[in-house]
Structure 1
């Protein structure tokens, strides 16, 4: 018994040294130190599952292929000329600091001439995706966090098998945890038709603890590099028929055409390279020159635990800090951390119209009360909070100043910023932003706006739930 205690104490000291060397935030480091030294065995086990800093200890290193090298060279050359190039659109020059931030942090340049259509909710999204899939002649690349068997999955299977028989290359990448209910029967039925299928970070015994907390939350469909789709919508029937507990499931997705699709294809190709251990997608045949007549300037922002910087957190922070008139945020999981919370408070106190729209209902008890634990501070500083009463609002949308819109897979929480692989699209587009602003205002009118003085009178039991949930926020 004494030997076991000594060994435990030595291991705890080693973990303390690791936390002090590689911890990201003091609050998170302190929370883990308390857990390790006050919860015997359990605290240490939780740290191995949830706590390790993958940004300082790279989760994986992508192979430096010629295609990646050429792409990065293009990024750096663009960065050097972006200030002086007379062909650079005015919308880019106006937001030059944000553009450069994303180039440096996420390695994606803005692209021009894109056709982008926001797709509201599941029915419109899957109608557009299936229509695009039917046009495939060369390849189809599909990636989802949740790929759940049901009517939608069967429709995917029918179309994908049909395309594979026509000679189209078909690849499916799913997250092994998010799609854990996907059966071997379904997967094997696709593989039997020549479709390549891989799970991202399968939960194998040897690396279970090191991988379970780092998930691929991206949703991507690329068809011949002509069509691209991304956003918050997974493959699950609840996006069509609703959820028995939460009701209708509301979300936002994007249909992309133009050069921006090549950026989305790059994200898929790098994830595929990691999951399949093959670089076969990192070559020019999967990247097309586009001549669409669209007018949207857009930029992909991808981030993950292997990234040098928290690119999506920096995107959100920059939009809030640079706003002149308003920032409207729709997101189900708003656990922003101190920096983003402070940014929202400072903006609101400075007279910027900061509004948050989220559901009254939540799919997680802990997340619900952790989110609500920051309401009082935000309301006190003038942030307006609206609770949508009908169903579950799963959209991840930020719009600002009738000029900027970002839609994607990333929530406004530490998990999306630090632990998940995410992808967003930032659009420098007045027409799209203005349209989504009107939709946002309509949804706010349907919602219940919180009042600061009334919120202060909430029951003590609710305050207790918020306080208990807030304890876990540094490690969520």
Structure 2
């Protein structure tokens, strides 16, 4: 008798999920796959769908009150007198790019900026600690990975000193990415007056619904004057490497000027969502008293709550707008259909398309999933290089000596649809040429992937690639 009741309940839940898929499903192939999963894997299919299959654009964490507060705050950002309202970019392609990002993320390009490229951990943390030491009003940090070690200890000592001097310190860390962060360290931070909140921590009742949606952003804001973003987390491995992968190579960005306020807006919105405290959304933004530079920067941020994928659309537009070349450095190039086709079309159209990936990977599934796209790329004329030393973790795109993207987003389905990400788009020829030179220097130290050689790889490798590709939406 009990098993009949359980079966009926199971069927009702399954039917409810089927109706949800039919109403809210976006991609037919994906919808069909989930229908088969629900009915062929008893109980497990439902749990998998609840964890990773639901359309988050239909089930947002934000309620109507939060949506209204955030919308009003973003409106205030646009009205800030210190930020340029309109900029004439040189080419039609750049103008279209700027309009796309403004439409999807709400931020206009700003021309009062100074951009500093920070290569690798030492340069990044030297610049970060120099700025933190100079803080006299507030310090905001948002990190996917915040690990204990020498860097964390140094940050704690600095925060303790700054709070005593009246500086406000706020930290957001991701509940999954920073899973190793101990309760003792968090308690120490709170005991000296640092405000700390996790993003979607493990909680009974919300675990299945939240485990797959992570805040992958890395942001530091100091006094509304200086900001940092890029691929580098708070972890000693960026300075010392690790035993398995060796040294971690990454790229970060320091910003001064108008774009800092846009990054601060991203932090303030996330702070509101994790803490329920809307005070940051009500504060008047600091005014820019003088020009600090002439570089044009536009912030693009997005997450699973966005109906359109701001990051995915930006990458798609960068590839489509490229006329001469587009060079992409990223450890996780698992593109999905749209980006795959865009890269193939660009290469077949005569654009010099080059991909720089790490020869080593921090996940076996990632390694084989990335490799599963190589043959299609190579056949279309895309050039691929594998960096053999350590682990290459940078997320950089440079194109046509005119535009650069540096940020937290990988070129994969997770960054487009499941993670909360942020990138800085720099419309500046000097920055583009600098990173183009860096790219060309790095590929000279890398191993080019030859089409004929790769096509004749062992059958077992092809089998591993096919298996890993199935799990690409989760990586």
| Aligned mates of 1:288, 1:418 — CA distance in 2 | 34
Question: In the TM superposition, what are the counterparts of 1:326-341 in structure 2 within 5 Å?
Answer: 326-341=325-340
| CA apart distance, 1:286 | 4.4
What is the match of residue 263 of structure 2? 264
| CA apart distance, 1:36 | 1.5
What is the match of residue 18 of structure 1? 20
What is the match of residue 30 of structure 1? 32
Q: Give secondary structure in 2 for the equivalent of 1:117.
A: strand
Instruction: Tell whether the 8 Å contact from 2:262 to 2:299 is kept in structure 1 after alignment.
Output: yes
Question: In the TM superposition, what are the counterparts of 1:99-114 in structure 2 within 5 Å?
Answer: 99-114=98-113
Question: In the TM superposition, what are the counterparts of 1:350-369 in structure 2 within 5 Å?
Answer: 350-369=349-368
What is the match of residue 158 of structure 1? 157
What is the match of residue 445 of structure 1? 444
Q: Give secondary structure in 1 for the equivalent of 2:268.
A: helix
What is the match of residue 69 of structure 1? 72
Instruction: Tell whether the 8 Å contact from 2:113 to 2:294 is kept in structure 1 after alignment.
Output: yes
| CA apart distance, 1:293 | 3.0
What is the match of residue 48 of structure 1? 50
| CA apart distance, 1:292 | 3.0
| Aligned mates of 2:339, 2:70 — CA distance in 1 | 36
| Aligned mates of 2:23, 2:178 — CA distance in 1 | 35
TM-score by length of 1: 0.95
RMSD (Å) for aligned C-alpha atoms:
2.0
| Aligned mates of 1:406, 1:56 — CA distance in 2 | 29
| CA apart distance, 1:66 | 6.9
| Aligned mates of 2:93, 2:356 — CA distance in 1 | 28
What is the match of residue 206 of structure 1? 205
Q: Deviations over 1:70-100 (max 9, x none)?
A: 642764999xx97xx6xx3434766111111
What is the match of residue 317 of structure 2? 318
1:57 aligns with 2:56: no
| CA apart distance, 1:29 | 2.0
What is the match of residue 427 of structure 1? 426
What is the match of residue 297 of structure 1? 296
Question: In the TM superposition, what are the counterparts of 1:108-123 in structure 2 within 5 Å?
Answer: 108-123=107-122
Q: Deviations over 1:199-253 (max 9, x none)?
A: 1111110211111111111111000011100111000110000011011101111
- Inter-CA distance 338–438: structure 2 relative to 1 (3 Å threshold): same
TM-score by length of 2: 0.95
| CA apart distance, 1:285 | 3.9
Instruction: Tell whether the 8 Å contact from 1:22 to 1:56 is kept in structure 2 after alignment.
Output: yes
| Aligned mates of 1:197, 1:57 — CA distance in 2 | 26
| Aligned mates of 2:466, 2:44 — CA distance in 1 | 22
| CA apart distance, 1:474 | 4.2
| CA apart distance, 1:415 | 0.7
| Aligned mates of 2:449, 2:289 — CA distance in 1 | 47
| CA apart distance, 1:67 | 8.0
Count of residue pairs brought into register by the alignment: 470
| Aligned mates of 2:423, 2:100 — CA distance in 1 | 14
Question: In the TM superposition, what are the counterparts of 1:131-280 in structure 2 within 5 Å?
Answer: 131-280=130-279
| CA apart distance, 1:68 | 4.6
Q: Give secondary structure in 2 for the equivalent of 1:362.
A: coil
Instruction: Tell whether the 8 Å contact from 2:93 to 2:321 is kept in structure 1 after alignment.
Output: no
Q: Which residue among 8, 15, 18 is the counterpart of 1:6? A: 8
Q: Give secondary structure in 1 for the equivalent of 2:9.
A: helix
What is the match of residue 464 of structure 2? 465
| Aligned mates of 1:393, 1:271 — CA distance in 2 | 28
Q: Give secondary structure in 2 for the equivalent of 1:104.
A: helix
What is the match of residue 347 of structure 1? 346
| Aligned mates of 1:26, 1:77 — CA distance in 2 | 43
* Unpaired runs of at least 5, structure 1: none
| Aligned mates of 2:409, 2:70 — CA distance in 1 | 27
| Aligned mates of 2:473, 2:237 — CA distance in 1 | 31
Q: Deviations over 1:123-162 (max 9, x none)?
A: 1101100000000010010110110000000011011111
Q: Give secondary structure in 1 for the equivalent of 2:112.
A: strand
* Unpaired runs of at least 5, structure 2: none
Q: Deviations over 1:413-432 (max 9, x none)?
A: 11111111100000000000
Q: Give secondary structure in 1 for the equivalent of 2:66.
A: coil
| Aligned mates of 1:67, 1:32 — CA distance in 2 | 33
Q: Give secondary structure in 1 for the equivalent of 2:206.
A: helix
Instruction: Tell whether the 8 Å contact from 1:92 to 1:99 is kept in structure 2 after alignment.
Output: no
